[in-house]
Amino acid sequence: MRLGIGKNIVLSGFMGTGKTEVGRTVARMAGMAFIDIDDELERCSGMSIPEIFAEFGEPEFRRRETEAIRTISAHQRAVIATGGGAVVNPENVELLRRNGVIVCLTASVETILRRVGASRNRPLLQTEHPEKRIRELLAARQAFYEKADIVIATDGKSPQAVAEEILDRVASWKSSGKGQ
Ligand code: S3P
């Protein structure tokens, strides 16, 4: 399936909502390139994300994230997976929206906890109570996630099913004229 649009499909959403796996599936189905912002950031920094947080702290991670978004958002016809905190900064959203439709993936706290609760790769969840942290972060970010052009719930759905839903919804969004 080809979308026939030059726009990027940008996936936002909390950690554990499936942005990377779903993004790869969408890219394969639509014949688009796939770019993961966290992967690019790690490649450019020569460090892992936990290392960047440990060595320089979150503000420096966010600065590098915006730098990576500035470069990557200039692409066309790519599926771009963002890190879970990227859309909290309006500058990132503006950059990503210039050339793309923003699709936010959502999941319940239980699903998120099951998918990433024990992950060592999520510095923000390295606490005694990951569930409490997830709830706090979700509450603080909810309003930012809701600003996406399209919002899709992922609970109980396979990556393939979510990818198909994204392609359908993006096609309707485009034909409604909102993407002009
Ligand atoms: C973060 C999410 C992570 C990564 C970093 C910070 C966040 O990306 O960017 O650990 O602030 O939610 P994923 O959403 O891909 O896990």
Query: What is the model's pLDDT at position 119?
Result: 86
Ligand 1 site residues (CB inside 6 A) read 15, 19, 38, 49, 83-85, 122-124
Q: What percent of the chain is modeled with pLDDT above 70?
A: 96
pLDDT per position as a tens digit, 132-168: 999 999 999 999 999 999 999 999 999 999 999 999 9
Selection from 142, 132, 47, 126 nearest residue 85 by Cα: 142
Q: pTM value?
A: 0.95
Q: Ligand 1 centre and the CA of 85: distance in Å?
A: 6
Selection from 149, 168, 43 nearest residue 87 by Cα: 149
pLDDT per position as a tens digit, 96-139: 999 999 999 999 999 999 999 788 899 999 999 999 999 999 99
Indicate which atom in ligand 1 lies nearest the CA of residue 82. 15
Considering the chain, what is the average pLDDT of its residues?
Answer: 94
